Amino acid sequence: MKRASFVIFLAVLLVLPWLGGDYYINLGSQILIAALFALSLNLLVGYAGLTSLGHAAYLGVSAYVSGWLFLKLGWGHAMTAPAALLLTTLMAALFGLIALRASGIGFLMITLALGQVLWGLAFRWVTITNGDNGLSGLTRPAPFGINLDGASAFYIFTAIVFALSLICIVLFANSSFGAVLRGTRDQPRRMLALGHNVWLVRYLTFIVAGFWAAAAGLLYVYYHKFIHPHALGLTNSAETLLMVIAGGSGTLAGPIVGAAIVVLLKNYVSAFIERWTMLLGFVFLMIVMFMPDGLVPGLQRIWTRLTGDKAKSQELA
């Protein structure tokens, strides 16, 4: 039932934007990009139990590397995309060595500090990043000669990349390694006693999370055709963490639902409500109060309770 519901939800998410015009199709692209980014953070927060406040660094660095190689060196997208993924993943491997020296609040503060360092470099290293002006004049790739400048074409491209990425993340989460990862989250000492290298499991997950954040960064820069230091900022990391928590960390549908809520409030509702951040805070407060483990687990629990009661009543009849 869970799998069927998840497939139906994804089908609705992919088809719904086609019912409107280009605005809604572009909104759908933003939701898918944010969902992939939230899924990458969920590997750390939900499956490894490591809360990060610097995850936007990987999205931003991937976008900057791709944009800089395209503008300064004249590389094509077929070369800039693998280079951005590789360099960002290597950066995640380096940052993991530093951040995983601690856990809990210590881990959170180290990731925050690393993210802020990169954000500061993006602002101050003008010769590379163009400072506060960002990198503009970028273009979208044209895979197999297909022009992605149109809203519909880019949405299809984003949906395909998102679907393939989601399959890989699902396989990772449901693998034996994913089971060990959840064990290190819940009982690290017991897993250590069983012979598992807890640090190495978390370190590899940190790298994988960085890779998928880099993939989201490529989609991000392709969509906007522009990259600004704001992409690496604390606000972006905090918004993504909010998506994961609100939707339900440790679930696959949770970050996608959370991404849809935040992006819709940020882009659609803000057109009608000036202080939309207050509404976002109110929504988050309601979720924490009534569904503390997230929207998706909360709705699943309600559905199970209702269907269970219905089954009991049929038995009594």
The boundaries of the domain holding residue 205 are 2-6+28-316
Q: What is the pLDDT, as a whole number, of residue 309?
A: 53
- Is residue 11 predicted with pLDDT exceeding 90? no
182-224 tens-digit pLDDT: 999 999 999 999 899 999 999 999 999 999 999 999 999 999 9
> Would you say residue 181 has pLDDT above 90?
yes
pLDDT at residue 77 is higher than 90: yes
**Is there a domain that residue 268 lies in?**
yes
pLDDT of residue 307: 79
Query: Does the residue 15 lie in any domain?
Result: no
**Residue 179 belongs to some domain of the structure:** yes
Six-digit token pair at 109?
A: 């503060």
DSSP of 45-89, one letter per residue? IIIS----S-THHHHHHHHHHHHHHHHHS---HHHHHHHHHHHHH
Beta-bridge mates of residue 227: 135
Structure tokens at 278: 């207050």
pLDDT at 154 over 90: yes
Q: What average pLDDT score do residues 141-157 get? A: 90
**pLDDT for res 14:** 67
HSE-CB of 307 using CA atoms within 13 angstroms: 7
Asked whether residue 22 is assigned to any structural domain, the reply reads no
With vertex at residue 280, the alpha carbon angle to CA 275 and CA 281, rounded to the nearest 5 degrees, is 100
User: What's the CA gap between 239 and 243, in Å, rounded?
Assistant: 6
CATH at 115: 1.10.3470
Asked if the structure places residue 76 within a domain, the reply is yes
Q: What is the pLDDT of residue 8?
A: 67
Per the structure, the count of domains in the chain is: 1
In a domain, 19, yes or no: no
Mean pLDDT across the chain: 88
The residue ranking higher by pLDDT, 278 or 10, is: 278
Query: According to the model, what pLDDT value does residue 316 have?
Result: 30
Stated pTM of the model: 0.91
- Position of tokens 């499991």? 201
For 82-117, the pLDDT digits (tens) are 999 999 999 999 999 999 999 889 999 999 999 999
Residue 317 has a pLDDT of: 34
Write out pLDDT tens, residues 244-302.
Answer: 999 999 898 899 999 999 998 888 777 777 777 787 788 888 888 888 888 888 888 88
> Taking 70 as the threshold, does the pLDDT of residue 13 lie above it?
no
Q: Is there a domain that residue 96 lies in?
A: yes
